[in-house]
Amino acid sequence: ETGVTQTPRHLVMGMTNKKSLKCEQHLGHNAMYWYKQSAKKPLELMFVYNFKEQTENNSVPSRFSPECPNSSHLFLHLHTLQPEDSALYLCASSQGGAVEKLFFGSGTQLSVL
Partner 1 sequence: EDKVVQSPLSLVVHEGDTVTLNCSYEVTNFRSLLWYKQEKKAPTFLFMLTSSGIEKKSGRLSSILDKKELFSILNITATQTGDSAIYLCAVEETSGSRLTFGEGTQLTVNP
The H or E element that residue 44 is part of is strand 44-50
Query: 15 or 57, CB closer to partner 1?
Result: 57
Using the rule CB under 8 A, is 88 a contact of partner 1?
Answer: yes
Residues 44-83, mask of contacts with partner 1 (x by CB under 8 A)? xx--x-x----xx---------------------------
Q: Which amino acid is at 111?
A: S
Q: Which residues contact 3 (CB under 8 A, 6 or more apart)?
A: 25, 26, 27, 93, 103
Q: Which residues contact 85 (CB under 8 A, 6 or more apart)?
A: 63, 64, 78, 110, 112
Residues 30-49, mask of contacts with partner 1 (x by CB under 8 A)? -x--------xxxxxx--x-
Residue 109: CB minimum distance to partner 1, A: 8
State the residues that interact with partner 1 by CB under 8 A.
Answer: 2, 4, 31, 40-45, 48, 50, 55-56, 88, 90, 94, 97-107, 109
